[in-house]
Amino acid sequence: MRGLPPRPGDRVLTDPNPLRDVRDRRLPDIPGPCSLVIFGVTGDLATKKLMPAVYDLANRGLLPPGFALVGFARRDWADQDFAQIVHDAVKLHARTEFREEVWQTLSEGIRFVAGDFGDASAFDRLAQVVTDLDRVRGTRGNHAFYLSIPPRFFGDVVQQLKRSGLSATDSGSWRRVVVEKPFGHDLASARVLNRQLDEVFEPSSIFRIDHYLGKETVQNLLALRFANTMFEPIWNANYVDHVQITMAEDIGIGSRAGYYDGIGAARDVMQNHLMQLLALCAMEEPLSFQSRDVRIEKEKVLAGICLPKDLHRHTANGQYAAGWQGGEYVGGYLDEEGIPPDSTTDTFAAVRLEIDTRRWAGVPFYLRTGKRLARRVTELAVMFKRAPHLPFAATDTAELGQNALVVRIQPDEGVTMRFGSKIPGTEMEVRDVNMDFAYGDAFTESSPEAYERLLLDVLRGDPPLFPRHEEVELAWMVLDPVLAAWAEDGRPEQYSAGGWGPSCAAEMIARDGRVWRRP
């Protein structure tokens, strides 16, 4: 009978997959007692993303009782001053509605420490605040340090964390560090950064944030591939002609001149976001979605990337010039405040890559990103080979293009399938039609912000979406030769704002007999 224990000799059914998560998914997976310490709380990232994400997690009941939020910056603030900053940021940028009772509970754990990154006494005060939180808020020695600061300060901060004892753990407690991209300026600097982090924290306690990996549609790429039997059999060189990965922005650099100049589009976006999307698209099915298994498969892809022999013909870089965008005439990159007139920083980057594996041999992957393009869109498009059309006359399929599966990552998240269908009428005429899946139409719950998922993963110690240092270095090994080739070429090609990039990018893909998609 139901509910009775098995009798001797009864056959007991067990889950055939011992790695399967069998917990009740109706119950939220809440982290244990902990705090989050944010360095650089006055910056845009903290104000627009991190603080609102913390509130949204609290509003959804996903933070533990007694959770604490600590800010560290060079401001003469008391705890209540920082609490007001958080309050204003939450009301302005939070995804969920503001509820006073949630805010009151959260605000009780807000603290602030004034100081700069070289001030040893400030880190000693921070250590005292953390100790007090263990006693007052019950955080039990569990603290995550979020470095929302320029990478050049990472080494200074982690050394101060070590000197002050903030990185040390007692039995059963944890300390974690979170760093934002860019993860270095090139391979050499990335290795220096990795050594600095590894000297202080265990590899499992280092979280490198790539916020694109927290987006629902990026994670849905894994579900699309591995939860369905209809896609995986054709996800290979036998059927795929090529893959295009695009991240286009319709804005310029705004007030980020100090950060952006000298870095450029390739370092800012391609080395991390686009390489990670390529790895998720091309990797083999992992044994599980545990971090180690996913990381192994992504590293295999990145290690198998082959650069074209002629980098000048199969890569492209550009810099936006003045032009019309959205009915407004906008200035060029060299007209932006704080940009030197002789800057050679790229604001557009494109590259053709191949992956030397059995699954993808001979299939080109085209990556492109740029600012001041025609529209804001991020997508991954798998373009399939054309059918031979043997039963059809040439005129029957004159309007038929390539089948495509397009994962729309932003702004209108979803998936589009493009295939051929007969036009109604007496003749056999076939042309392209689209079948759309949109997140907003299929699900009643809105997608959480990427930083909500990523912060929650940090506090839970669940790192499958975070690149490890091996992935970072493999990506730089791909990009460094491209950047060196561009440095030899000199100034990047100018392109008008509001278009789809420089002509050299169109020529690059045209050499292979293909064209860029117009999302």
Q: Which three-class secondary structure state does DSSP give residue 210?
A: coil
393-397 contacts: CB < 8 A, separation 24 or more?
A: 393/428, 395/429, 396/427, 396/428, 396/429, 396/430, 397/430
Structure tokens at 456: 């929650």
Q: Are 461 and 176 in contact (CB under 8 A)?
A: yes
If we measure between CA atoms, which residue out of 62, 410, 47 comes closest to residue 215?
A: 410
Measuring CA to CA, how many Å separate 287 from each of 1, 31, 321, 466?
36, 25, 48, 18
Catalytic residue chosen out of the listed positions 211, 273, 314, 469:
273
Paired sense of beta strands 348-355 and 315-321, if any: antiparallel
Q: Are 202 and 169 in contact (CB under 8 A)?
A: no
Residues 6+ apart with CB under 8 A from 342: none
Q: Which residue has the tokens 């650089």?
A: 40
For the chain, give the longest Cα–Cα distance.
84
Could you please report the per-residue DSSP string of 372-399?
A: SBSS-EEEEEEEEPPP--TTS-GGGGTB
Whole-number Å distance between alpha carbons of 45 and 483: 27
Is 273 designated active site? Answer: yes
Q: Are 236 and 359 in contact (CB under 8 A)?
A: yes
Q: Helices 51-59 and 450-460 sit at what angle, rounded to 10 degrees?
A: 80
Which residues are designated catalytic?
Answer: 273
